Amino acid sequence: MKASRKRGFFIGTIKTMTNVEISSLALQPVDLIIDARWVATVDANQSLLAFYSVVIHQHVIVDVLPTTDAHARYSAGSVVALGEHVLIPGLINLHTHTPMTLMRGIADDLPLMVWLNAHIWPAERAIVDEAYVRDASTLACAEMLSGGTTCFSDMYFYPQATAAAVVNTGMRASLGLPVLEFPTNYAKDADDYLQKGFDAHDSWRGNALISSMIAPHAPYTVSNQTFEKVRVYAEQLNLNIHTHLHETREEITQSETQYGVRPMQRLLDLGLLGPNLIAAHGVHLLEHEIDLLAEHSCSIVHCPGSNLKLASGIAPVAALLKARVNVGLGTDGAASNNRLDMFAEMRLAALLAKGVCEDPLAITAHHALQMATINAAKALGLEEKIGSIEVGKQADLTAVKLSDFNIAPCYDPISHLIYACGRENVTHTWVAGELRYSHGIFANIEPIELKEIIQTWQPKLKQYKH
């Protein structure tokens, strides 16, 4: 039959479609299907699904279903087959200082206040500027993405420079607007810190991957007057407050001498305890202080690696969880850890609690995974977006290969994640459905860029090495 055109329509040879072609017309088009041996949802049921797929379209999880059903229902622009992997929610580092990554190892084996006063703060005064923060944050983002971390909560100077690194690398972040009383390269006084922070907050409001917190450094570096301003601004802008709290005994003794009360009582008196408070460390807590945290729905960030390395102590995490305090996990900065490795923190958190409590159930593998995912998301107020693998949430996902000989055999994927796996077993990291890391290759970061960052800043920081 001869083809011809008439009134704008094509009239040509009639072709009978095959059953396969007819079937394909009924498939719903989506961007990506990830087929996994296991999917650990970290939902309310703590589901571990075998031979399941996660279906993603326009950055969002649109379905979680058996793999055979997924391919009978959807047509994907891309399919990733992970036959030896467990797919988990992207890990969330709830407390870190990403620009301190270039200070990794310059002041080791020291107590916190000596570490800060004699080494870290002098180095910061001499070195830190916007270019430094952007470069160091880029290095940190690369480290975290390669280890399965998709989101981090940060506290440091020049947050707009950190935001630039977040945008360039494709991560998700909740960035602290730092507040101190004393001058630094970044700001001259508390009001200057606040104003610069709000300018930064305004600059990234349109970015769906970046949110803000007000970040008064700690009770020992922030006055009552400034804390009151922080509380008011946080209420007006609906922002979280992120601070260090009860990290060391020295901090508590200083507060009792200066203010007549322990730091938490001071924050309570100032009206800062509430659902928007994220308190890093919480190492030295009395029973009634744990009750206060629970009563006011505060969140604690457990940083076991940093607390051990700085000899600060061990947080009473089992007691916090028993009291129903929301507890997330953080690495702290690489200058005091010295890794931005959430797998190490999950394992350490579980083992420490077992040893301290002499109870193998004090923190289970499931608890540890929750602390690094959905608990952290709750602390940030992002639990409706991230932290679990559920329909309607952003597709922040991490794939972990469980078949390597040095961690085989695997009988329980969740147990394996916490007690056997390391960040080296991460093969893929997605943020909002976009593949940001796969098998050693970054989507937005060139290895030569990371090498140049290290070569630029290491000679300048070397003189501050302890």
Read off the pLDDT of residues 249-279 as tens digits, 9 standing for 90 and up.
Answer: 999 999 999 999 999 999 999 999 999 999 9
Give me the mean pLDDT over the 70-82 stretch: 98
Report d(CA 333, CA 249) in Å as an integer: 20
Cis bond before residue 338 (omega within 30° of 0): yes
Residue 49's SS3 state is: strand
Identify the pLDDT of residue 24.
Answer: 52
Q: Where in the chain is the domain with CATH 3.20.20.140?
A: 91-379
Dihedral in degrees, nearest 10, Cα atoms 141, 144, 145, 148: -160
Identify the pLDDT of residue 25.
Answer: 55
Residue 344: pLDDT over 50: yes
Whether 158 and 129 have beta carbons less than 8 Å apart is answered as: yes
- Overall pTM > 0.85: yes
CATH of domain 19-89+392-442: 2.30.40.10
Give me the mean pLDDT over the 206-233 stretch: 98
**Which is more confidently placed, 451 or 7?**
451
For the domain made up of 91-379, give the CATH fold: TIM Barrel (3.20.20)
Q: Where in the chain is the domain with CATH 2.30.40.10?
A: 19-89+392-442
**Predicted confidence band of residue 26 (pLDDT cuts 50, 70, 90):** confident
Residue 451's SS3 state is: helix
Q: Which two tokens stand for residue 368?
A: 């540890």
The mean pLDDT value of the chain amounts to 94
Q: For the chain, what percentages of helix, strand and coil (3-state, to nearest 5) are there?
A: 40, 25, 35
